[in-house]
Structure 1
Amino acid sequence: MFGLSALDLARVQFAFTMSFHILFPAITIGMASYLAVLELCWLRTGRQVYVDLYHYWLKIFAVTFGMGVVSGIVMAYQIGTNWSYLSEFAGSIMGPILSYEVLTAFFLEAGFLGVMLFGWTRVGPGLHFASTCAVALGTLISATWILAANSWMQTPQGYAIEGGRMVPADWLAIVFNPSFPYRLVHMVIAAYLTTALIVGASGAWQLLRGRDNPAVRKMLSMAMWLILIVAPIQAVVGDFHGLNTLKHQPAKLAAMEGHWQNEGGRAIPLLLFGVPDMQQERTKYAFGIPHLGSVILTHSWSGQIPGLKEFPRDQRPNSLIVFWSFRLMVGLGLLMIALGAWSLWLRRKRDGEARLWRARPFLRFALWMGPAGLVAILAGWTTTEVGRQPWVVYGVLRTADAVSPHGAGPLALTLALFVVAYLFVFGTGTVYVLRMIRKGPQRFELQRPPEGGPGEERTPMRPLSAADVDNDDDLSEDGRGGR
């Protein structure tokens, strides 16, 4: 298939399925916490606007959560089928970590998700809020275990090799490996930014079409406050993460910067543009800012980092891919900071928050930034995974040695089937979510279901009734919500 080897096809297949999967948990991590905040605000203030927003985003969360579960199951099977030598060599470490994720996180989410989705009229306010918090906590625990496994593959610690296999020697060192704290915080903040950008874009879209109501204003305002606060924090966390990468994965950092070799005591420029050439071992058309690379990478005026030429050719990541994926992520991060700063500037003007609802250029910018968090996550994940190559367990197991002994033909066939199935299933789900977002928040009318019994009607809930779009049209516009 296009001259690709079995190894190339296995990597492409994993990258394709992983790219779909990572987006849905990123949304649900941020959305679950957002729902918990909305319900807490309602419990403290009793304002109807928080109830309306909760039920609006709850439907979207339900569908996204379902798509995340489905795409995650595929990943587990794919590791066993396409990367069997990885499972055999490192399974005694990775297997328990992934099992802990199911036992501690997935069971918690599944146990309280039903109460969260269908228990609004069936349990008390305190129990329902506790269920929402439990689901939000479950998403964070899930991210913790998944990031622990991936971080261990990036910076392996606490293992021994016995009988040609990796076995655990120190579980604390395995879980709390050197890159784990930075990756976990970086990913969770990215999930919160992704949710805030989607919520803000939804509010901007509604306002641009003249649908101005308290719920739309509130969700836009909350999203902009979060972006304003969290986007700069993400930049600081990214800086610490970069220093950790310099210490433990210097070849990856050199590839990110398109840096090939040091010249005496000369400082490193920050390249804004360039085309790294792996064959010629240079970055063509390089354009950079003198000394700024040293300042950012080493926190000194003329510090240096190892160049790619200091590493054997067969241990260098593809600098062209990593160079531009990293710049795409950073560029989008800077635009997020700009969006938050613009919202603050509008709030501080004489008309106060009113300008936030009426400034059409700002609203268009917020709308176009809606998918920026998702794109930034994909770019960051590409930087992380391609930058790790040619290792699957860094410095221990090469990717070429971890792949199953399949031929190119079966891998090409299954890849084609994955592309067709994913585009149909998740394409349909995405269109459905966009339809729900387009409707905008409606006033939620509390109606307790009939008790049932002789002579009384009772219609059972459908499994997807939490994500039903058409029934929203029946919601009363002047009824009072509450419990």
Structure 2
Amino acid sequence: MLEQLDAVFLARVQFAFTVSFHFIFPAFSIGLASYLMVLEGLWLKTGRGVYANLYRYWMKIFAVGFGMGVVSGVVLSYQFGTNWSVFSTKAGAIVGPLMGYEVITAFFLEAGFLGVMLFGISKVGKRLHFFATCMVALGTFISAFWILSVNSWMQTPAGFEINEQGQFVVGGSWWDVIFNPSFPYRLAHTVIAAYLTTAFAVGGVGAWHLLKDRSNPGARKMFSMAMWMAVVVTPIQIVAGDLHGLNTLEHQPVKVLAMEGDFDPSPDGAPLILFGLPDQETAQVHYKVAIPKLGSLVLKHDPNAPLPGLTDYPREDWPPVAVVFWSFRVMVAIGLAMLALGLWSLIARRRKRLFESRALHRTAVLMGPAGFVAVIAGWITTEVGRQPFTVYGLLRTAESASPLDAPAVATSLIAFILVYSAVFGAGIYYLLRLMGQPPHRGETEPSHVPVRAAGITPAASMEAAWAKGGAADGKH
């Protein structure tokens, strides 16, 4: 049976499986590192122990998630050499350096200061420790910068030329390669998505503990901060998504038409298809529910603007329409649900029921994993929508794979599924166990006593405050 499967398809499935596991951890780490930076900054500014307690609480979770993200990411690099060697040969002169910059400028920064952040509280002062936290947060952002630059170049290649060996090389400046046409939009959309993913995860954890004890100060604070993020950042993400969509329509129109399910051209304005069953063979959407002219209003900001259809492009250049169509709707639906929850929390806050509404808390718990689902759906929309190309319009996926037999790829895929399910299943279970523990109820504050007069160093005083909070955490 393995011989009947297509090696390229199996290689795609393998990369999709491993990158899906990987993607959820950086999406969480990017947002959580910034959240930790905010918590420590508020603690140092206000002296309120609730921020110190929440910093300790989420730092442990960040450490586990960061480690799982690193381990899961290493596998992806190897697949470029095993399953996608032709792609590596043709595009390596551009993709390789960009990924190398990510290691040099981001990973070393994160890894170096992560040790100070996790273990240096008794060795360094408050300001230096806060600086380390800021550097870890900056490192996660820089890492996203370079990886998204690589991905964006594959989506909208620029600044290159093709040499006599058929390889992509830099043709102008690296500036044109890095800041390719879709990169700024993709960077903003993805990073904001990471912040929202973290916000709803934090909000879900806070709501879970509020359902058990609505007086817990840590749960109240984390839930309040998360809901402010939902109110403020979700509308920003919707605007960023709209701008990203307009950019995609300009540079990758076939992808957008697949997202919208527009098989036929619409010279007088395209409808917005809410639901339906796309049929790629017959080039139509069955049982569709559509709103006339709204598609052109969304995509062109003009209800009467003409739009092409997929039938205006060669069928061999179409992506799998049904997958792109539905993954896009999942992402949008979750975004609207996030906005609705944020507005609900704002109403509850104004009515002074933010910590009293159990219905709101239950909904927030259900929405806790929503950000992870949304980023995976968005990734599927982006990557499957790019098919059948690895470098859009220039290098096809079928021409990028290594000359491997299907059984070899299938065997490694099965191995990945088994190992990932065991290792990362255990890791995720442990993360949920950590999240299930309530935040410390007391407020362990940093000492403001003139400690040198007492014969102890500021670092020792700070460590004592943290140790006191950790011991108290263990009692709960």
* TM-score normalised by the chain length of structure 2: 0.92
Using the alignment, how far apart are the partners of 2:244 and 2:360 within structure 1?
31
Letter in 2 for 1:197: F
Using the alignment, how far apart are the partners of 2:474 and 2:24 within structure 1?
34
1:210 partnered with 2:213: yes
Q: Which residue of 2 aligns with 1:134?
A: 135
Q: Which residue of 2 aligns with 1:317?
A: 319
Q: Which residue of 1 aligns with 2:460?
A: none
Q: Which residue of 2 aligns with 1:229?
A: 232
Is the partner of 1:302 in helix, strand or coil?
coil
Asked whether the 8 Å contact 1:294–1:303 carries over to 2, the reply is: yes
Shift in Å, 1:306:
1.9
Unaligned 5+ segments in structure 2 are: 448-468
Using the alignment, how far apart are the partners of 1:447 and 1:474 within structure 2?
15
Q: Which among 326, 333, 336 is matched to residue 334 of structure 1?
A: 336
Is the partner of 2:355 in helix, strand or coil?
helix
Using the alignment, how far apart are the partners of 1:476 and 1:392 within structure 2?
50
Q: Which residue of 1 aligns with 2:194?
A: 191
Q: Which residue of 2 aligns with 1:266?
A: 268
Letter in 2 for 1:376: A
Deviations 1:145-167 (A, max 9, x none): 00000000000000011121111
Q: Provide closer, same or farther for how the CA distance between residues 210 and 307 of structure 1 changes in structure 2, counting only shifts above 3 A.
A: same
Deviations 1:36-78 (A, max 9, x none): 0000001110000000000000000000000000001000001
Shift in Å, 1:79:
1.1
Asked whether the 8 Å contact 2:52–2:444 carries over to 1, the reply is: no
| Structure 1, 207-216 or 416-425: larger mean CA deviation | 207-216
Using the alignment, how far apart are the partners of 1:71 and 1:385 within structure 2?
19
Letter in 2 for 1:417: A
| Aligned length in residues | 451
Is the partner of 1:272 in helix, strand or coil?
strand
Asked whether the 8 Å contact 1:270–1:292 carries over to 2, the reply is: yes
Letter in 2 for 1:216: A
Using the alignment, how far apart are the partners of 1:181 and 1:4 within structure 2?
38
Deviations 1:227-265 (A, max 9, x none): 1100011000000011001100000000000001224x3
Using the alignment, how far apart are the partners of 1:342 and 1:409 within structure 2?
52
Asked whether the 8 Å contact 1:445–1:475 carries over to 2, the reply is: no
Alignment of 1:161-310 (within 5 A): 161-163=162-164, 164-169=166-171, 170-210=173-213, 212-263=215-266, 265-310=267-312
Using the alignment, how far apart are the partners of 2:229 and 2:22 within structure 1?
25
Same amino acid, percent of matched pairs: 57
Q: Which residue of 1 aligns with 2:410?
A: 412
* TM-score normalised by the chain length of structure 1: 0.91
Alignment of 1:340-359 (within 5 A): 340-349=342-351, 352=352, 355-359=353-357
Letter in 2 for 1:373: G
Q: Which among 379, 382, 393 is matched to residue 380 of structure 2?
A: 382
Unaligned 5+ segments in structure 1 are: 449-470, 479-483
Shift in Å, 1:305:
2.2
Using the alignment, how far apart are the partners of 1:251 and 1:28 within structure 2?
33
Runs of 4+ in 1 over 3 A off after TM superposition: 443-448, 471-478
Q: CA RMSD in A?
A: 1.7
Is the partner of 2:195 in helix, strand or coil?
helix
1:117 partnered with 2:118: yes
Deviations 1:106-158 (A, max 9, x none): 01001100000011222100000000000000000000000000000000000
Deviations 1:431-454 (A, max 9, x none): 000000000212586999xxxxxx
Using the alignment, how far apart are the partners of 1:304 and 1:369 within structure 2?
38
Q: Which residue of 1 aligns with 2:462?
A: none
Q: Which residue of 2 aligns with 1:76?
A: 77
Is the partner of 2:328 in helix, strand or coil?
helix
Deviations 1:19-52 (A, max 9, x none): 0001000000000000000000011100000000
Asked whether the 8 Å contact 1:202–1:438 carries over to 2, the reply is: yes
Letter in 2 for 1:101: E
Is the partner of 1:288 in helix, strand or coil?
strand
Using the alignment, how far apart are the partners of 1:224 and 1:315 within structure 2?
42
Q: Which residue of 1 aligns with 2:47?
A: 46
Asked whether the 8 Å contact 1:445–1:476 carries over to 2, the reply is: no
Using the alignment, how far apart are the partners of 2:219 and 2:295 within structure 1?
42
